[in-house]
Chain A
Amino acid sequence: MNKKRKMFIRMIVASLVRRRSRMIVALLAIIVGATILSGLGLIYFDVPRQMSSQFRSYGANIIIAPESDGDVSYEKLQKSITYFPSNELEGYTPYRYENSKIHNMPVTLAGTDLGSVLKTSPYWHIDGELPAKNGEALIGAKLAESLGISKGESVSTVNTFEITGEMESIDIPDYEKYTDPETGETHCDHTLDLTISGILETGGSEEEYIYISLEDVEYLTLSKRGYDIVEVSVASIKDKLSEYTEKISKDIDGIKAKLVKRVTASESSVLSKLQALVFIVTAVVLVLTMICVATTMAAVIAERRREIGLRKALGAFNSSIVGQFMGEGLLLGAVGGILGSVLGFLFAQYVSQHVFSSPITFRPLLIPITIVASVIVTGTACLMPIKSAVEVDPALVLKGE
C-alpha cells in the first residue's frame, strides 16, 4: 500500500475513531438498519420452512389415492414415500375404509396405522386414549352419539358375507353361517368385539368413523388389500410439494398424488402476505436509516465546513473532498453492516425461538449482502450532504464567515 493510501485510511479512521461521539448516531442508525435487514432477511427466507412446520398442525397437505378403481398397495406407498426428503417428511397415514354394522346400524370403519395417525392429524382431540392394541377402537363423537356409545364401552361390529360358489365348501372358523329363509341365500356373520378407548372430536367429517387397526380390519373382512387413501404431511413450500406430487403421479402407475388445496392454498396465501410484510418493513427501515444517516452526515459536514475549507486551501480538489467524506461514510456503512449482520442473526434467532419455537437457519450469504446493502445505503445517504461539502468556499470559511 503506498503512503498516500495509508494516509487516506489514517485520516478516515482517525475521523471516525477520534470523533466517535459525533459519528455514533450515524453508526447506530446504520447498525439498526443492518440488523433489521439481516434479521428480517433471515426470517424472510426461513419463514416458508418455519410456517410449513407450523401449518402441519392443520393436517396433511398431500393425499395419495388410487388413480381410478383399486387401491394403493403397500409397495406403491413405500415407493412414493421415498420421493419426500426425510428431513421434510413429518409423517404419513394410510386408511382403508370398510362398511360394517354396530347395533344393526351401518357404520364405516377406518383401518389405519394408529401409531402414526397423530403425525398427519395433530389437531385431533381425543377424549380418552388412542387404541393401543388390536381390539380397541376410537370412535367419532357424532357416531358415538347416534349409536349411544361411550368411552370404555365394549361393542361388537359385524360383517355379513354371502357365501357363494366355492366359498360354500370352505370351512370358516368362528363364523356363524346361516340361510336366509326369504331368499334362500347362505350368509355368514363375523363379529369383532371392540373396546372404545376414546372419543374423537374434530368438528369435521372424521367424527363419523370408527378407527381401528389395519389388522382388525383384515380380520373382520377376511381380506388383505391396499389402502383407499394415504395422508402425507410434508414440511415444504408449495412449489416443492407440487414437484413431489407430479413426480409420484408420473412415475408410479395406478396412483395419483395431489395437494390438499385447502391447506396448501391458505399456507401459500399466508406465506406470501407475511413475506410481503417483512419486505415492506425492511424497505421502510432502510429508507428511515438512509434519512437518519443523511441528516447526521449533513450535520457532520456543516460542522466541518472549516476543515473542508482548510483542505481546499491546502490544495484538495473536489474529488479529494468527496473521497474523504465518502470514505468515512462507506467505512461507517461497512462497520455498521458487519455489526448489524451479527445482531441481525441474534434478532432473527430471538424472533424465531419466540414465534416459531425453533431455531433460525443461518445463511452465510446474508452477511455480505447486508454489508454491501449497508454500504450502498450509507453511500447514497452521503451523496447530498457531500454535494454541499464541495461547494464550500475556502476563502470565506477560513475567515470564519
Chain B
Amino acid sequence: MENLLELKNISKIYGGLKALDNVSLNVRKGEWLAIMGPSGSGKSTMMNIVGCLDKPSTGEVFFDGKDVSKESGKKLTELHRDKIGLVFQQFHLINYLNAVENVMVAQYYHSMPDEQEALEALERVGLKDRAKHLPSQLSGGEQQRVCIARAIINSPQLILADEPTGNLDEANENIVLDIFRRLHKEGTTLVVVTHDPEVGEVAQRIVRLEHGKIVSDRENEHFTD
C-alpha cells in the first residue's frame, strides 16, 4: 500500500537533549498506527513533527510523497490545515464557543464555515443534540467527541490523536475507540500516540519508542476491523 507519511532519519534536538534520534518510519494510507512509549520517550516530539507543527533538526519528512521538512511555516500551516485532523488529550475546545461553533472554527480556517456540515460531523460522533452547549456544559467524553468532530470536519487524510483517551473514563474511552474504528473503516489514516496499552492494542500496527528511538515496530495480530 502507498505511504502517506515517510520519516527518514529524523532527529530532533532541544538544547543538548536528543528527543528523537535518527528515527525512520513509514505510515501507509488507511493504516491505523499506535505510537507507544513511556513519558519522555519522544512520542510528543514525533507527533508534532508528523503533524507538521514542528520541524526536525535533521532528516526528511515526506507527506503524500512530498518533502515537507524544508517547507516554510506558512506552507506547513497550510498542510496541517488541509490534510491533518488533530485530537488532543486536553480536548482544547475554545471555551466561549459552543460545540457546533468549535467544529466550525476548523472549517473557518480551512475553507468556508457551514453550520449544517458541522452539525452532521457532530451527528457522526453522536452529539448533535448537544450542539449548542458550551464546553463547560459538556462531560469530558463529550468534549473529546467534539474534538474528534472538529478533526474530521475537513475530511483530512490523516487523523493524529495525542493520548485521546487520557482524560476519559472507560465508557467514554470505548466510544472514542469505536469512532476511530469507524473512521479507519472509512479509509482514514490514524496515528494515535498513547501510553495506554488498551488503546495501543486496538491499532493495526504498534510502534514503540524509548529514549527517542524506535525499539519495536510490529503489526497487531489481534487487530480486528
B88 touches A316 (CB 8 A): no
B96 touches A315 (CB 8 A): no
Closest CB in chain B relative to A16 CB, distance in Å: 9
B96 touches A19 (CB 8 A): yes
Identify the closest chain B residue to A307 (Cβ): B94
B48 touches A395 (CB 8 A): yes
Comparing A7-15, A183-191, A339-347, A368-376, the segment that makes contact with chain B is: A7-15
Question: Which parts of B129-178 form the interface with A (CB within 8 Å)?
Answer: 134, 150
Determine the chain A residues whose CB is within 8 A of the CB of B44 once the complex forms. 399
Determine the chain B residues whose CB is within 8 A of the CB of A398 once the complex forms. 53, 88, 90, 92
Closest CB in chain A relative to B150 CB, distance in Å: 8
Q: Does B190 contact A (CB under 8 A)?
A: no
B113 touches A7 (CB 8 A): yes
Which of A3, A7, A14, A395 interacts with B53 by CB under 8 Å? A395
CA distance A320 to B81 in the complex (A): 13
Q: Does A310 contact B (CB under 8 A)?
A: yes
Determine the chain B residues whose CB is within 8 A of the CB of A170 once the complex forms. none
Q: Does B71 contact A (CB under 8 A)?
A: no
Assess A313 versus B96: contact at CB under 8 Å? Given A4-B113, A395-B48.
Answer: no
B positions within 8 Å CB-CB of A: 44, 48, 51, 53-54, 74, 77-78, 80-82, 86, 88, 90, 92, 94-97, 101, 104-110, 112-114, 134, 150
A315 touches B82 (CB 8 A): yes
Assess A18 versus B134: contact at CB under 8 Å? Given A310-B92, A394-B53.
Answer: yes
Determine the chain B residues whose CB is within 8 A of the CB of A262 once the complex forms. none
User: Given A315-B78, A398-B53, 9 more contacts at CB 8 Å?
Assistant: A2-B112, A3-B112, A4-B113, A11-B97, A313-B51, A315-B106, A315-B110, A316-B109, A399-B44
The listed residue with most B CB atoms (<10 A of its CB), out of A314, A315, A317, A394, is A314
The 3 closest A-B CB pairs, nearest first, are: A315-B81, A315-B109, A18-B96
Question: Which parts of A304-342 form the interface with B (CB within 8 Å)?
Answer: 306-307, 309-317, 320
A315 touches B80 (CB 8 A): yes
CA distance A310 to B105 in the complex (A): 10
CA distance A312 to B53 in the complex (A): 9
CA distance A15 to B53 in the complex (A): 26
Which of B77, B94, B101, B110 interacts with A310 by CB under 8 Å? B94
Question: Which parts of A276-326 form the interface with B (CB within 8 Å)?
Answer: 306-307, 309-317, 320
B113 touches A3 (CB 8 A): yes
The listed residue with most A CB atoms (<10 A of its CB), out of B88, B96, B97, is B96
Question: Which parts of A364-401 form the interface with B (CB within 8 Å)?
Answer: 394-395, 398-400
CA distance A19 to B97 in the complex (A): 10
Identify the closest chain A residue to B81 (Cβ): A315
CA distance A6 to B90 in the complex (A): 28
Question: Which parts of A1-35 form the interface with B (CB within 8 Å)?
Answer: 2-4, 6-8, 10-11, 14-15, 18-19
Assess A313 versus B101: contact at CB under 8 Å? Given A3-B113, A4-B113, A7-B108.
Answer: no
A positions within 8 Å CB-CB of B: 2-4, 6-8, 10-11, 14-15, 18-19, 306-307, 309-317, 320, 394-395, 398-400
A3 touches B109 (CB 8 A): no
Determine the chain B residues whose CB is within 8 A of the CB of A19 once the complex forms. 96
Determine the chain B residues whose CB is within 8 A of the CB of A320 once the complex forms. 109
CA distance A310 to B90 in the complex (A): 11
Which of B48, B96, B105 interacts with A311 by CB under 8 Å? B105
Determine the chain A residues whose CB is within 8 A of the CB of B134 once the complex forms. 18
CA distance A311 to B108 in the complex (A): 10
B54 touches A314 (CB 8 A): no
Identify the closest chain A residue to B74 (Cβ): A317
Determine the chain A residues whose CB is within 8 A of the CB of B96 once the complex forms. 14-15, 18-19
B80 touches A395 (CB 8 A): no
Assess A11 versus B112: contact at CB under 8 Å? Given A394-B53, A399-B44.
Answer: no
Identify the closest chain A residue to B55 (Cβ): A395
Which of B53, B90, B101, B112 interacts with A10 by CB under 8 Å? B101
CA distance A112 to B48 in the complex (A): 96
CA distance A317 to B80 in the complex (A): 12
Identify the closest chain A residue to B92 (Cβ): A310
Identify the closest chain A residue to B147 (Cβ): A310
Determine the chain B residues whose CB is within 8 A of the CB of A309 once the complex forms. 92
Which of A314, A394, A400 interacts with B105 by CB under 8 Å? A314
B106 touches A314 (CB 8 A): yes
Could you list 9 A-B pairs, sorted by A, with CB under 8 Å?
Answer: A4-B112, A14-B96, A14-B97, A19-B96, A307-B95, A310-B92, A314-B110, A314-B150, A315-B110
Determine the chain A residues whose CB is within 8 A of the CB of B105 once the complex forms. 7, 11, 311, 314
CA distance A316 to B105 in the complex (A): 10
Identify the closest chain B residue to A16 (Cβ): B96
Determine the chain B residues whose CB is within 8 A of the CB of A11 once the complex forms. 97, 101, 105, 108
B53 touches A313 (CB 8 A): yes
Identify the closest chain A residue to B136 (Cβ): A18
Assess A400 versus B114: contact at CB under 8 Å? Given A11-B101, A18-B134.
Answer: no
Determine the chain B residues whose CB is within 8 A of the CB of A6 once the complex forms. 113
Assess A395 versus B54: contact at CB under 8 Å? Given A6-B113, A18-B134, A314-B109.
Answer: yes
Closest CB in chain A relative to B50 CB, distance in Å: 11
Which of B94, B97, B108 interacts with A4 by CB under 8 Å? B108
A312 touches B77 (CB 8 A): yes
